[in-house]
Structure 1
Amino acid sequence: MLSTKIFGEELRKQGFTFYSGVPCSFLKSLINYAINELEYVAAANEGDAVAIASGAYLGGKKSVVLMQNSGLTNAVSPLTSLNYSFRIPILGFVSLRGEPGIPDEPQHELMGKITTQMLELMQIGWEYLSENIHEAREQLVRANEAIDNQKSYFFVVRKGTFDSEALKNQTQSVSQNYEKKTKRHDDQSPSRYEALATINALRDQNTVQLATTGMTGRELYEIEDAACNLYMVGSMGCVGSLGLGLAMSQPQKNIIVIDGDGSLLMRMGSLATNGYYHPNNMLHILLDNHVHDSTGGQNTVSHNMDFINIAASCGYARSIYVHNLQELKEEITAWKFNQTHTFLYMNISRKASELTGRPKIKPYEVKERLRQNIKNATTEVILTEKHSKKHFAQSGTGYNDEKC
């Protein structure tokens, strides 16, 4: 049996400090350790956990996901179309419920037989995690090498692998909505292209824009291909969770998540997670045209939804109905000035741009470019702070590093 604390410290030494996941009894000790000692984001589902961890990786953090093997099926979409396509590596721990020959609940029987086959089909390297700490250290070295080569790596965890780690007292933060504006007059219903152009025109050097899959990403690319943009492919519904991970790992950056109705409806549990952790540097914009535009214009059910009240009840500090492009501009400007976790909803027309093609830059190139952009911006901030400290010290203003 592994000492959870010692193994957790070995993970920390390798640089893994950001965790996200969904509980499993086989992994509860490692989850407890992450909650007690590190940064852990409790996701609504396993696919969201993968996206959250991936967002943290974009922000420069080595990330871990924890899940039951039944939830591995829920993570297939982001693992195959987000992590694989963008070459975003994460370290995964998946339990082996339903292991052949070991009594378990009937719902785990099939997954116990096919868990490792699924990992192989997804071209994810994996090992059974050893209960011997010396062997486990060697396994972590191999896993870390895979991560450095931009490949995800998973450990399959059998029952009784980790020793007990007590969960310390948890303090639950309370996220509350304090400003809500519902529909007050008729909608302008501009095209998505016009809305994206308005959003992009307000972008500054401190802004990152994440555009959901389909026409949203394609049209943003047509408007301006920038190093601070990410155009989602596949992994539908994951852009909000990706934004959460990035916002939490890069609190000094302005993270704008541009979502669509079909996408958000697919993973609405992410709203509750985003609202609970409520990073003030994250702006979530929903452009709702009530259809699946890139697949033929089939109706969604968004006409029957009240996204403003839903976001407000999930804990977004501000949940605002936007009627026209001028209001959109005003609300984005207000968010940048006030830095409060905000959800904006806007009805758009069903008309797509006739100019829309697919990005000519590959997803993994988009990822590398974005990470470098974030890294360069962070370096500039550090250099600016150092220069400011030197200036204050030389000017005799009594600048104190310990207070800044």
Structure 2
Amino acid sequence: MKVHRLVETIGSDFYTGIPDSQLRALCDYLMDTYGIDPRHHVIAANEGNCAALAAGYHLATGKVPVVYMQNSGEGNIINPVASLLNDKVYAIPVVFIIGWRGEPGIHDEPQHVYQGEVTLKLLADMDIGHFVIGKETADAEVESAMAEFRNVLATGKDVAFVIRKGALTDAPRVEYRNDNQMVREEIIRHIVDASGNDPIVCTTGKASRELFEIRTANGQSHKYDFLTVGSMGHGSSIALGVAINKPERRVWCIDGDGAVLMHMGSMAVLGANRPKNLIHVVINNGAHETVGGMPTVAADINLVSIAKACGYPYAVSVDGLEDLDRELSAAKKRGELSLIEAKCSIGAREDLGRPTTTALENKQNFMEYLRTL
């Protein structure tokens, strides 16, 4: 289905969401049509944030908003759907557009497999009626589904279009870039060199893939690294759990700006606990680059000030490799919770591979290594 036809069929003038590669056509259409315009299109911090923002839009206008997301975000919307939007509470109608990663029978990455299996079940459990759009779905079928949905929405219930891989087409071409000079893979290479044999917890997306390939190219073991291939935004909390229980060993967290934004409250918990052995490196390209490059708000906020306000004893921002190396070295010697924001460009190698070990193997190897420390 051509993406503009879906937008026209739904007929809403307000979209908020978290970008998804499965919804790349929709994301590019919205960026080309609206950009980031709080009247029409907002990329929020997490999917629950989107649901609440959509509720505010409805309260102010009486109109029906749209929330778009990957199916991994269903967990983040359960609370606002059940306790805010539901027709037994405030009866706030919302149209969800959900990218179906891990659809049964379609090969996908391990973090998507179970999520894909329960995607439709979770919608049913949340009393959200759904219609699945695939490559072969006719425009008339979607229009008929939306006509039925309008009756449902009028009762204060929510509905969802679930989007299969490749179902949306004909998006405008949008280029995402910034003026930063450092490249993420090179930043991670410098972190690997600085960290030595210290354990690393790495955030989801291309960062984990690049870390895996750097270890392979170096002839190093992957036992040092926990690759948080799913559970976006929780990498720093995993690292905190490791650091608290391995107090004599330095622990590194490689994080991303989108992940930090998604669950920023974890920074307050980190700052309150102040593990002296944790170094938190946030690679900030101001984009959800792994799923296409759509912007985050991280390019417009001061992560260093936020970290200090949360209780980090030390926080700094760097935009060059020489400064990065100096700060990595200083953090190793400091013996205090430290945050290093590394500003980087958008993009990755075209031939970037994926981990060749399973998630379970990664966990087991990492745990065996931690037991030796």
| 2:285–2:345 CA contact under 8 A, matched in 1 | yes
Matched residue, 1:193:
185
Equivalent of 1:203, from 178, 195, 200? Answer: 195
Mapping 1:224-263, distance limit 5 Å: 224-225=215-216, 226-263=222-259
Q: Distance in 2 between matches of 1:270 and 1:249?
A: 17
- Secondary structure in 2 matching 1:346: strand
For 2:368, give the aligned amino acid: Q
Q: Cα distance 1:279–1:78, how it changes in 2: closer, same or farther (>3 A)?
A: farther
Show CA shifts across 1:354-384 (max 9, x none).
Answer: 331110100110010011011123xxxxxxx
Q: Which runs of 5+ in 1 are unaligned?
A: 1-46, 48-75, 81-97, 99-105, 108-120, 123-186, 378-404
- Secondary structure in 1 matching 2:312: coil
Is 1:216 matched up with 2:207?
yes
For 1:224, give the aligned amino acid: R
Q: Distance in 2 between matches of 1:228 and 1:304?
A: 33
Q: Which runs of 5+ in 2 are unaligned?
A: 1-47, 49-70, 76-82, 90-117, 120-178, 217-221
Matched residue, 1:333:
329
For 1:276, give the aligned amino acid: A
| 2:276–2:336 CA contact under 8 A, matched in 1 | yes
Structure 1 residue 189: deviation in Å? 2.5
For 2:369, give the aligned amino acid: N
Matched residue, 1:115:
none
Show CA shifts across 1:156-202 (max 9, x none).
Answer: xxxxxxxxxxxxxxxxxxxxxxxxxxxxxxx8631001101111112
Q: Distance in 1 between matches of 2:312 and 2:352?
A: 32
| 1:78–1:238 CA contact under 8 A, matched in 2 | no
Q: Distance in 2 between matches of 1:249 and 1:312?
A: 24
Show CA shifts across 1:264-297 (max 9, x none).
Answer: 1100111101000010100000111111112111
For 2:204, give the aligned amino acid: T
| 1:293–1:350 CA contact under 8 A, matched in 2 | yes
| 1:78–1:234 CA contact under 8 A, matched in 2 | no
Structure 1 residue 211: deviation in Å? 1.1
- Secondary structure in 2 matching 1:195: helix
Q: Distance in 1 between matches of 2:360 and 2:327?
A: 32
Mapping 1:27-42, distance limit 5 Å: none
| 2:304–2:341 CA contact under 8 A, matched in 1 | yes
- Secondary structure in 2 matching 1:236: coil
Instruction: Count residues with an aligned counterpart.
Output: 208
Show CA shifts across 1:23-81 (max 9, x none).
Answer: xxxxxxxxxxxxxxxxxxxxxxxx9xxxxxxxxxxxxxxxxxxxxxxxxxxxx96999x
Matched residue, 1:269:
265
Question: RMSD of the TM alignment (CA)?
Answer: 3.2
For 2:338, give the aligned amino acid: T
Matched residue, 1:290:
286
For 2:243, give the aligned amino acid: A
TM, length-normalised to structure 2: 0.51
| 2:182–2:319 CA contact under 8 A, matched in 1 | no
Matched residue, 1:302:
298
Q: Cα distance 1:373–1:78, how it changes in 2: closer, same or farther (>3 A)?
A: farther
Matched residue, 1:116:
none
Matched residue, 1:315:
311
- Secondary structure in 2 matching 1:202: helix
Q: Distance in 2 between matches of 1:79 and 1:232?
A: 18
For 1:355, give the aligned amino acid: D
Mapping 1:117-128, distance limit 5 Å: none
Structure 1 residue 232: deviation in Å? 1.3
Query: Among the aligned pairs, what percent are the same residue?
Result: 32
Mapping 1:5-404, distance limit 5 Å: 189-205=181-197, 207-225=198-216, 226-377=222-373
Structure 1 residue 252: deviation in Å? 1.3
For 2:199, give the aligned amino acid: V
Q: Cα distance 1:375–1:336, how it changes in 2: closer, same or farther (>3 A)?
A: same
Q: Distance in 2 between matches of 1:302 and 1:215?
A: 18
Q: Cα distance 1:356–1:344, how it changes in 2: closer, same or farther (>3 A)?
A: same
Matched residue, 1:41:
none
Structure 1 residue 228: deviation in Å? 0.5
Structure 1 residue 351: deviation in Å? 2.2
Structure 1 residue 342: deviation in Å? 0.3
For 2:289, give the aligned amino acid: D
Matched residue, 2:38:
none
Show CA shifts across 1:67-124 (max 9, x none).
Answer: xxxxxxxxx96999xxxxxxxxxxxxxxxxx9xxxxxxx76xxxxxxxxxxxxx79xx
Q: Distance in 2 between matches of 1:246 and 1:79?
A: 27
- Secondary structure in 2 matching 1:223: helix
| 2:285–2:344 CA contact under 8 A, matched in 1 | yes
